[in-house]
Amino acid sequence: MAQVEQALSGVLIFVTAARAGSFTVAADRLGITKSAVGKSIAKLEERLGCKLFHRTTRSSGLTVDGEAYFASCSAAVDDILAAEASLTSHQQTPSGRLRVDLPAAYGRSVVLPVLLEILDANPDLKLTVTFTDAVIDLIEEGIDLSIRFGTLRDSSGLVARRLTVQKQIICAAPKYLAKHGCPESLEELQNHSCIVNYRRGQRMSWSVLDVDGELTRITPPGTHEVGDGDAIVSMTVAGQGICQMPSSLVRDHLEAGRLVQVLEKYNPGDVEIHAVWPQTRHLLPKVRRVVDELVVRAERGALD
């Protein structure tokens, strides 16, 4: 029996390492040491009589035999994990580590407070939270749950649940408008200072309605390029230019008069916000608990 358990453990470690492309990353995901990963795979290779990985100091890639073995084992491992999740889904208190990736500004101000309340009610749940505005590969990065804005273009292998919608608002500080004037058209926007989101070396475009009421995208002047939503809002409040941001991030500033909407007739319709997670046969209880709570909060308007 011990040999069977050891063999199954070795297969799980192998599949995790193959997906991660790194023994170090695999060790972090499994909660063991890098040395334990290496020893387990070495034993597996010895038992199978072939090399499964090409090893270098920085990475580990599969050999031809490793690719064939991974193709046979990966689906089986997923089925075993899904079966365990199904049998334990009746548990009321989720446990274990949940890896969540959130849009930076919206995640900090809106979603994180909800997660903290969930932690208070579920002390056996542990979080790993990252804040990333760029779209990442959830499966490759080992993310259990993500929150995403807009259209889901890379939905293969993923499940999505719409939580709420938000408007994108173009706005500026009163002191900026007093100094530079208020743009009345999209063309006039080109003569203004704009603060735009900057991701992976690229300036992000804005969604707007054109003169015919059709949704389109424009590239405003990138006077300031900033890779963080909170920083964009702060710079806008400071009078450094015009920005377009989700309503949740600027609502308080608008109500307090620190920001003013501009180009309102060009503001696009609602932008959808989704909870997204890797597709498995059975939803993990810890993911189900968080998604269910986010849906309840969304219905109350707490995620708007």
Instruction: With cut-offs at 50, 70 and 90, classify the pLDDT of residue 29.
Output: confident
Q: How far apart are CA 259 and CA 177, in angstroms?
A: 10
Q: Are residues 273 and 124 in the same domain?
A: yes
Average pLDDT of the chain, as a whole number: 83
Contact 145, 289 (CB under 8 A): no
Q: Are residues 301 and 181 in the same domain?
A: yes
pLDDT digits (tens, 9 = 90+) for 181-216: 999 988 899 899 999 988 777 788 888 887 777 788
Sign of the Cα torsion 79, 80, 82, 87 reads positive
Q: Are residues 242 and 197 in the same domain?
A: yes
Q: Are residues 31 and 70 in the same domain?
A: yes
DSSP string, 87-129: HHTT-SS--EEEEEEE-HHHIIIIIHHHHHHHHHH-TTEEEEE
Q: Are residues 144 and 287 in the same domain?
A: yes
Helix (H) or strand (E) segment spanning residue 162 = strand 158-172
Q: How far apart are CA 277 and CA 287, in angstroms?
A: 8
CATH classification of the domain holding 82? 1.10.10.10
Of 42, 60, 88, the one marking the end of a domain is 88
* Whether the predicted model's global pTM rises above the 0.85 cut: no
Query: What pLDDT, on a 0 to 100 scale, did the predictor assign at position 85?
Result: 59
Sign of the Cα torsion 294, 298, 302, 304 reads positive
Q: Are residues 165 and 35 in the same domain?
A: no
Of 63, 88, 113, the one marking the end of a domain is 88
Q: Are residues 137 and 239 in the same domain?
A: yes
Q: Are residues 270 and 147 in the same domain?
A: yes
Of 88, 121, 140, the one marking the end of a domain is 88
Contact 24, 141 (CB under 8 A): no
- Residue 227: name the closest of 194, 196, 248, 253 by CA: 196
Q: Which two tokens stand for residue 270?
A: 């609602």
CATH classification of the domain holding 182? 3.40.190.290
Query: What pLDDT, on a 0 to 100 scale, did the predictor assign at position 193?
Result: 93
Instruction: With cut-offs at 50, 70 and 90, classify the pLDDT of residue 1.
Output: very low
Q: Are residues 256 and 142 in the same domain?
A: yes
The residue range of the domain holding 47 is 2-88
Which residue has better confidence, 4 or 142?
A: 142
Instruction: With cut-offs at 50, 70 and 90, classify the pLDDT of residue 82.
Output: low
The number of folded domains in the chain is 2
Query: What pLDDT, on a 0 to 100 scale, did the predictor assign at position 137?
Result: 78
